[in-house]
């Protein structure tokens, strides 16, 4: 019929013009949560805080900032991976506690004479992986939502840590080389920060350059399509939860080293820096959108805000309120771009 | 046309498959030649999708054999079928919108064909390059680095086709592409483009084309195979068949002439709605339009034409920001959905599953979602009344299964659409019904019933505003056709005075 005319160039070019228009329209308002605007926010914060208190930009404070950022950075990599899948991991603090206790009790400490050196690190990471695998298998095999599973695992982790802690006095690390490792400077910045940098680089590589990493993005976008495309969805989920568990363990170990002792509550407050940082970075809680590097920006925004407010003389009583408000604001911005998720087809 | 001189690419011999007592496909044999496009049509439940699932390795037939280029093959799973060079583009989108075109094409490719290099790390250059090669083969100029979410639907279909033939590239046979209703989500101008691209696939392989749109099947295919009740009831070459015959073969009865007697009695009463210079920034400008009771107005235009926005403005979801709107001759201000429903306006949205219904609620509850007073006792909903009211409508509209207590999501698309429409039709003062692609995804039988409902509404003096799936549908159903382009009305046709062709409409659209 009418649409049979094969070579009508007029129709073709007009069509292309329309399509370009559509593309421009759809990307325009999603920019708020993009890396460029995050970097702009970061710089704005830096400028404001350095004007409020010149000490903000001092070398000591920058070292302080990077040290404070190190644990959230490590945790945010794992959390980002899990959230990219469309799941969530709330068990961070529990795993940190268990791993920290494992690590301290197997290192030279004030309780007993055992000292397994680096093996203690390995053992603690294995503990984290086991917790992660438990999370992952309950989510994939028994199909319990990750929110519930990891919420429970948080307290299982704390429980295991408490049992390990026992009834004796707090175990302190006795090796002074070890306890000073985290704050020792290499190339001007603390070791804890460099550990975080390594983890972030590994995370970026994983998501951007490996088949499994790309599959994580795919699963987060649409799990059904991922399954029918032949991706091993369950196995990938399991792997990601295990990675997240391992990274929580690493964070727990570094937290114990910083503290110089083992305590079930080393991770206290970590969850409420990590998840907001990931969300502020623009990673969608629904999955499939965002990335490790954006979460890094989110971590720095929160850490700088926290540090800057203290230096500016704002009462610490206000700080958690401000952090919460910022989280809600970030989600409002992020949700705006998700409205089009409802429009499956137009 | 020259099919008989060519090699057989695929043949099915006496394929039979049963599920329990149901014989879904019964003794189907067919030959597909290299360079041929065959059409596969049939009502929902005729066995089309089962046959496709057999070809794509999801089901194994109980009896019969499949031959590829003369050699018998057995598909144990979808991977086997893909590796043999049979690529399926499913009705549902199968692309990840957050990934690039190239990645989408690469991600389901098995280890051997993927482009990872040392240490299992992606080699993005290679991924993009091999995607370009495949895209080029099917004549597409898409940039493989584009994010799929940024593409128009017609381009996504091209990606789907490229992806489908991608896996089989390593096998040495020519690809067989199965397209399951590839145009059902496309606008008319996009459909024209895709049809042209499908024709080009003849040069590299062969195509099985499944569609509900009979005129399209005749346009695109060399031969058309008709399935009914699991059996192949007819094979026709495209030159020797017309839509009416295909319809009869498919349904088993004559197509009723849908042309209704036009009943425009230039009544004195004010039009249902009159727009003067209505505008909304970024959507439409200076729209003048009159919708009279008992008339169907079809608006045609591309996605960017502003016609969907105009409908949303009329319904009050996204009101216009300047201009005048008169409802029954009275100017209205501060238009919103509540007022629009009060004025007797109804909207049947195109995204039935997302916007038009509450899938987890029963059909009965959906039916009384908006006008529920007939199923209430005082302020409370009476479950008993809810059921009797629903049973009435189920009978009237022949909604199946006859069980209003079933969740609506468990009904078929056609029956869901009947419930969605009944939700409005049960209002006695329905004055304007806005239908956004009401026939989308419905087979001709279900579409026929929905059409009858529309006619019934018109007879009741409801004005109907129709965004049709195809230009043919608009031409067939409308009293007047409004063509929109870039947010403005570019032309309008009174179908009682003139009979434009779809080409006339297309020219004004783009």
Task: Please indicate, yes or no, if residue B72 is contained in any of the structural domains.
Answer: yes
Residues forming beta bridges with residue A210, ordered by sequence position: B121
B61: Cα separation from own chain's centroid:
29
**Looking at the predicted structure, is the pLDDT value of residue B255 above 90?**
no
Which of A201, A211, A213, A294 to mutate: most B Cβ within 10 Å? A211
Contacts of B28 (CB under 8 A, 6+ apart): B12, B14, B15, B16, B47, B51, B64, B227, B230, B231, B232
CA atoms within 13 A on the CB side of B379: 0
pLDDT tier for residue A114 given thresholds of 50, 70 and 90: confident
A17-56: per-residue pLDDT in tens? Answer: 334 334 333 344 444 556 777 888 889 889 999 999 989 9
Task: Please indicate, yes or no, if residue B241 is contained in any of the structural domains.
Answer: yes
Residues forming beta bridges with residue B326, ordered by sequence position: B274, B331
Whole-number pLDDT of residue B378: 83
Contact A230 B108 (CB under 8 A): yes
8 Å CB contact between A210 and B121: yes
Distance CA B153, CA A155 (A): 47
pLDDT tier for residue B262 given thresholds of 50, 70 and 90: low
- Please report residues of B whose CB lies closer than 8 A to that of A230: 78-79, 108, 110
Of B332, B312, B315, the residue nearest B270 (C-alpha): B332
- Please report residues of A whose CB lies closer than 8 A to that of B103: 214
Local structure of B227: helix, strand or coil: strand
Distance CA B248, CA B361 (A): 36
Whole-number pLDDT of residue A336: 59
**Looking at the predicted structure, is the pLDDT value of residue B2 above 50?**
no
Whole-number pLDDT of residue A339: 47
Contacts of A259 (CB under 8 A, 6+ apart): A266
Whole-number pLDDT of residue B117: 56
- Please report residues of B whose CB lies closer than 8 A to that of A215: 107
Same domain, B336 and B234: no
Which of A1, A86, A210, A341 to mutate: most B Cβ within 10 Å? A1
**Looking at the predicted structure, is the pLDDT value of residue B4 above 50?**
no
The minimum CA-CA distance between B120 and chain A, rounded to whole Å, is 6
Whole-number pLDDT of residue B31: 92
Of B273, B293, B186, B278, the residue nearest B484 (C-alpha): B278
Range of B412's domain? 355-426
For B6-28, b/e burial (b = at least 16 CB within 10 A) is eebbbbbbebbbeeeeebbbbeb
- A135-160 mean pLDDT: 95
Q: Using DSSP, how many helices (H) and how many strands (E) does chain B show?
A: 16, 22
B343-367: per-residue pLDDT in tens? Answer: 999 999 888 877 888 888 888 888 8
Local structure of A279: helix, strand or coil: helix
Tokens standing for residue A275: 């998840």
Same domain, B92 and B212: yes
**SS in 3 state form for B403-469?**
CCCCEHHHCCHHHHHHHHHHHHHCCCCCCEEEEECCCCCCCHHHHHHHHHHHHHHHHCCCEEEEECC
CATH number for the domain spanning B21: value is: 3.40.50.300
Contacts of A126 (CB under 8 A, 6+ apart): none
Could you please report the per-residue DSSP string of A116-139?
Answer: -THHHHHHHHHHHHHHHHHHHHHH
Task: Please indicate, yes or no, if residue B259 is contained in any of the structural domains.
Answer: no
**Looking at the predicted structure, is the pLDDT value of residue B310 above 90?**
yes
- For the beta sheet containing B8-19, the strands, ordered from the edge strand earlier in sequence to the opposite edge, are B22-33, B8-19, B63-68, B71-73
Contact A22 B152 (CB under 8 A): yes
- Please report residues of A whose CB lies closer than 8 A to that of B93: 225, 345
Tokens standing for residue B313: 């403005």
Of B96, B188, B190, the CB nearest to A218: B96
Contact B502 A2 (CB under 8 A): yes
Q: In the listed set B426, B444, B468, which residue is the last one of a domain according to the structure?
A: B426
Distance CA B19, CA B3 (A): 35
Whole-number pLDDT of residue B5: 55
**Looking at the predicted structure, is the pLDDT value of residue B394 above 60?**
yes
- Please report residues of B whose CB lies closer than 8 A to that of A217: 96, 98-99
Of A88, A77, A38, A143, the residue nearest A285 (C-alpha): A88
Same domain, B421 and B437: no
**Looking at the predicted structure, is the pLDDT value of residue A334 above 70?**
no
Of A10, A208, A222, the CB nearest to B96: A222
Contact A15 B95 (CB under 8 A): no
For residue B469, the chain A residue with the least C-alpha distance is A346
Same domain, B335 and B205: no
Tokens standing for residue A285: 């809680």
Q: Enumerate the H helices of A29-91 as residue ranges.
A: 35-52, 59-84
Same domain, B240 and B104: yes
Distance CA A263, CA B498 (A): 85
User: N- to C-terminal Cα distance for chain B?
Assistant: 33
8 Å CB contact between A234 and A140: yes
**Looking at the predicted structure, is the pLDDT value of residue B498 above 80?**
yes
Sign of the four-CA dihedral A72, A77, A83, A87: negative
Same domain, B225 and B79: yes
Contact A1 B196 (CB under 8 A): no
- Please report residues of A whose CB lies closer than 8 A to that of B196: 6
For residue B56, the chain A residue with the least C-alpha distance is A228
Of B213, B180, B154, the residue nearest B473 (C-alpha): B213
Q: What's the angle, vertex CA B259, arms to CA B261 and CA B488, rounded to 5?
A: 95
User: N- to C-terminal Cα distance for chain A?
Assistant: 25
- In terms of Cβ atoms closer than 10 Å to its own Cβ (0-12, 13-18, 19+), residue B58 is middle
For residue B142, the chain A residue with the least C-alpha distance is A16
Q: What is the mean pLDDT of chain A?
A: 84
A166-210: per-residue pLDDT in tens? Answer: 888 889 988 888 888 888 888 989 999 999 999 999 999 999 888
Same domain, B214 and B287: no
Distance CA A199, CA B192 (A): 51
Q: What's the angle, vertex CA A310, arms to CA A307 and CA A314, rounded to 5?
A: 140
Of A15, A26, A342, the CB nearest to B150: A26
Local structure of B282: helix, strand or coil: coil
pLDDT tier for residue A271 given thresholds of 50, 70 and 90: very high
Same domain, B21 and B145: yes
Q: Are strands B432-436 and B284-291 parallel, antiparallel or unpaired?
A: unpaired
Local structure of B180: helix, strand or coil: strand
Contact B150 A2 (CB under 8 A): no
- B379-384 mean pLDDT: 86
Contact B99 A222 (CB under 8 A): no
Same domain, B446 and B492: yes
Task: Please indicate, yes or no, if residue B276 is contained in any of the structural domains.
Answer: yes
The minimum CA-CA distance between A274 and chain B, rounded to whole Å, is 24
Q: Residues of A at the B interface (Cβ-Cβ below 8 Å)?
A: 1-6, 10-12, 14-15, 18-19, 21-23, 26-27, 205, 208-211, 214-215, 217-218, 220-222, 225-226, 228-231, 288-289, 342-346
Count Cβ atoms below 10 Å from residue A31 Cβ, excluding itself.
10
Of A228, A342, A345, the CB nearest to B94: A228
B392: Cα separation from own chain's centroid:
29
Domain boundaries, chain A: 33-338
Which of A213, A225, A284 to mutate: most B Cβ within 10 Å? A225
Distance CA A59, CA A48 (A): 17
Q: In the listed set B378, B406, B426, which residue is the last one of a domain according to the structure?
A: B426
- Per this entry, what is the length of chain A? 346
- Please report residues of A whose CB lies closer than 8 A to that of B143: none
Residues forming beta bridges with residue B346, ordered by sequence position: B433
Whole-number pLDDT of residue A8: 39
For residue A19, the chain B residue with the least C-alpha distance is B152
Of B79, B149, B195, the CB nearest to A230: B79
Q: What CATH number is given for A33-338 in this structure?
A: 1.10.3470
For A142-162, b/e burial (b = at least 16 CB within 10 A) is eeeebeebbebbbebbbebbb
The minimum CA-CA distance between B386 and chain A, rounded to whole Å, is 30
A84-102: per-residue pLDDT in tens? Answer: 999 999 999 999 999 999 9
The minimum CA-CA distance between B460 and chain A, rounded to whole Å, is 31
Distance CA B230, CA B62 (A): 14
Contact B121 A210 (CB under 8 A): yes
Distance CA A228, CA A219 (A): 11
Contacts of A180 (CB under 8 A, 6+ apart): none
pLDDT tier for residue A335 given thresholds of 50, 70 and 90: low
Q: What is the mean pLDDT of chain B?
A: 85
Q: Using DSSP, how many helices (H) and how many strands (E) does chain A show?
A: 14, 2
pLDDT tier for residue B264 given thresholds of 50, 70 and 90: low
Contact B190 A345 (CB under 8 A): no
Of A71, A82, A56, the residue nearest A273 (C-alpha): A71
Same domain, B9 and B106: yes
Local structure of B299: helix, strand or coil: strand
Whole-number pLDDT of residue A94: 97
8 Å CB contact between B471 and B505: yes
Local structure of A334: helix, strand or coil: helix
Whole-number pLDDT of residue B170: 67
A259-268: per-residue pLDDT in tens? Answer: 999 999 999 9
How many folded domains does chain B comprise?
A: 3
Distance CA A16, CA B304 (A): 12
Contact B107 A218 (CB under 8 A): yes
A282-325: per-residue pLDDT in tens? Answer: 888 888 888 999 999 999 988 998 888 888 888 878 877 887 78
A207-233: per-residue pLDDT in tens? Answer: 988 888 999 999 999 998 888 777 889
| pLDDT-above-90 percentage for chain B | 28
The minimum CA-CA distance between A147 and chain B, rounded to whole Å, is 23
**Looking at the predicted structure, is the pLDDT value of residue B463 above 70?**
yes
Whole-number pLDDT of residue B46: 82
Task: Please indicate, yes or no, if residue B162 is contained in any of the structural domains.
Answer: yes
8 Å CB contact between B84 and B172: no
Same domain, B98 and B185: yes
**Looking at the predicted structure, is the pLDDT value of residue B173 above 80?**
no
Distance CA A291, CA A278 (A): 9
Distance CA A299, CA A45 (A): 13
Tokens standing for residue B82: 């893909």
**B328-332 long-range CB contacts below 8 Å, 24 or more apart?**
B328/B269, B328/B270, B328/B271, B328/B272, B328/B431, B329/B270, B329/B271, B329/B274
Same domain, B437 and B417: no
Q: In the listed set B377, B406, B426, which residue is the last one of a domain according to the structure?
A: B426
Of B190, B196, B504, the CB nearest to A6: B196
Task: Please indicate, yes or no, if residue B458 is contained in any of the structural domains.
Answer: yes
Q: How many CB pairs under 8 A join A and B?
A: 121
């Amino acid at each position: 019929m009418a649409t049979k005319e094969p070579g009508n160039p007029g129709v073709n070019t007009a069509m292309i013009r329309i399509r370009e228009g559509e593309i421009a329209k759809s990307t325009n308002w999603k920019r708020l949560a993009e890396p460029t605007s995050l970097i702009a926010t970061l710089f704005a914060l830096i400028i404001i805080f350095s004007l409020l208190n010149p000490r903000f930009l001092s070398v000591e404070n920058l070292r302080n900032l990077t040290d404070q950022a190190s644990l959230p950075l490590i945790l945010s990599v794992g959390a980002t991976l899990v959230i990219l899948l469309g799941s969530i991991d709330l068990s961070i603090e529990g795993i940190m506690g268990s791993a920290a206790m494992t690590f301290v009790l197997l290192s030279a400490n004030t309780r007993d004479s055992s000292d397994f050196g680096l093996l203690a690190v390995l053992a603690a990471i294995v503990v984290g992986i086991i917790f992660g695998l438990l999370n992952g298998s309950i989510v994939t095999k028994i199909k319990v939502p990750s929110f519930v599973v990891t919420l429970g695992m948080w307290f299982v982790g704390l429980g295991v840590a408490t049992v390990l802690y026992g009834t004796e006095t707090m175990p302190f690390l006795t090796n002074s080389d070890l306890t000073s490792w985290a704050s020792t400077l290499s190339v001007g910045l603390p070791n804890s920060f460099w550990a975080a940098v390594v983890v972030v680089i590994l995370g970026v590589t994983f998501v951007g350059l490996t088949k499994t990493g790309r599959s994580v993005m795919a699963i987060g976008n649409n799990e059904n399509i991922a399954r029918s495309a032949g991706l091993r969805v369950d196995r990938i989920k399991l792997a990601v939860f295990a990675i997240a568990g391992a990274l929580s363990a690493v964070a727990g170990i570094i937290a114990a080293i910083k503290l110089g002792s083992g305590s079930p509550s080393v991770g206290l407050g970590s969850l409420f820096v990590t998840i907001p940082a990931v969300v502020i970075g623009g990673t969608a809680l629904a999955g499939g959108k965002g990335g490790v590097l954006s979460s890094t920006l989110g971590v720095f925004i929160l850490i700088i805000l926290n540090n800057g407010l203290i230096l500016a003389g704002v009462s610490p009583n206000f700080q958690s309120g401000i952090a919460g408000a910022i989280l809600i604001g970030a989600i409002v911005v992020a949700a705006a771009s998700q409205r089009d998720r409802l429009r499956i087809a137009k | 046309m020259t099919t008989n001189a060519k090699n057989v690419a695929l043949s099915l011999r006496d394929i039979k498959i049963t599920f329990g007592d149901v014989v879904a496909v019964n003794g189907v044999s067919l030959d597909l030649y290299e360079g041929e496009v065959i059409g596969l049509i049939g009502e929902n439940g005729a066995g089309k999708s089962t046959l496709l699932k057999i070809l794509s390795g999801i089901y194994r037939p109980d009896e019969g054999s499949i031959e590829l280029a003369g050699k018998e093959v057995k598909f144990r799973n979808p991977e086997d079928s893909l590796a043999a060079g049979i690529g399926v583009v499913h009705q549902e989108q199968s692309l990840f919108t957050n990934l690039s075109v190239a990645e989408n094409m690469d991600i389901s490719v098995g280890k051997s064909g993927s482009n990872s290099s040392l240490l299992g790390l992606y080699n993005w250059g290679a991924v993009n390059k091999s995607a370009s090669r495949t895209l080029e083969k099917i004549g597409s100029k898409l940039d493989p680095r584009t994010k799929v979410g940024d593409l128009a639907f017609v381009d996504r279909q091209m990606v789907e086709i490229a992806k489908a033939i991608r896996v089989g590239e390593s096998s040495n046979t020519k690809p067989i592409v199965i397209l399951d209703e590839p145009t059902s989500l496309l606008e008319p101008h996009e459909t024209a483009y895709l049809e042209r691209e499908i024709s080009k696939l003849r040069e590299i392989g062969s195509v099985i084309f499944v569609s509900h749109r009979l005129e399209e099947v005749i346009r695109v295919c060399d031969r058309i195979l008709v399935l009914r009740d699991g059996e192949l009831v007819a094979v026709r070459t495209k030159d020797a068949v017309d839509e009416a015959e295909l319809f009869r073969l498919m349904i088993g009865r004559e197509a009723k002439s849908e042309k209704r007697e036009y009943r425009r009695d230039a009544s004195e009463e004010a039009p249902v709605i009159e727009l003067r210079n209505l505008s909304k920034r970024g959507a439409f400008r200076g729209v003048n339009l009159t919708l009279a009771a008992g008339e169907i107005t079809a608006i045609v235009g591309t996605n960017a034409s502003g016609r969907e926005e105009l409908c949303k403005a009329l319904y009050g979801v996204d009101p216009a920001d300047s201009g005048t709107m008169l409802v029954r001759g009275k100017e209205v201000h501060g238009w919103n959905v509540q007022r629009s429903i009060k004025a007797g306006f109804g909207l049947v949205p195109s995204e039935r599953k997302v916007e038009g219904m509450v899938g987890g609620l029963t059909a009965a509850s959906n039916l009384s979602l908006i006008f529920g007073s007939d199923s209430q006792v005082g302020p409370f909903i009476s479950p008993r009344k809810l059921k009797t009211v629903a049973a009435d409508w189920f009978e009237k509209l022949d909604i199946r299964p006859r069980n209003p207590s079933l969740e609506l999501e468990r009904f078929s698309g056609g029956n869901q659409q009947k419930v969605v429409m009944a939700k409005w039709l049960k209002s006695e003062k329905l004055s304007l019904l806005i239908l956004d692609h009401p026939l989308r995804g419905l087979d001709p039988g279900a579409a026929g019933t929905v059409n009858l409902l529309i006619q019934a509404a018109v007879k009741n003096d409801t004005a109907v505003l129709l965004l049709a799936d195809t230009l043919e549908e608009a031409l067939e159903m409308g009293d007047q056709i409004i063509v929109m382009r870039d947010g403005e009305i570019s032309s309008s046709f009174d179908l009682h005075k003139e009979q434009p062709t779809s080409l006339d409409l297309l020219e004004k659209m783009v």
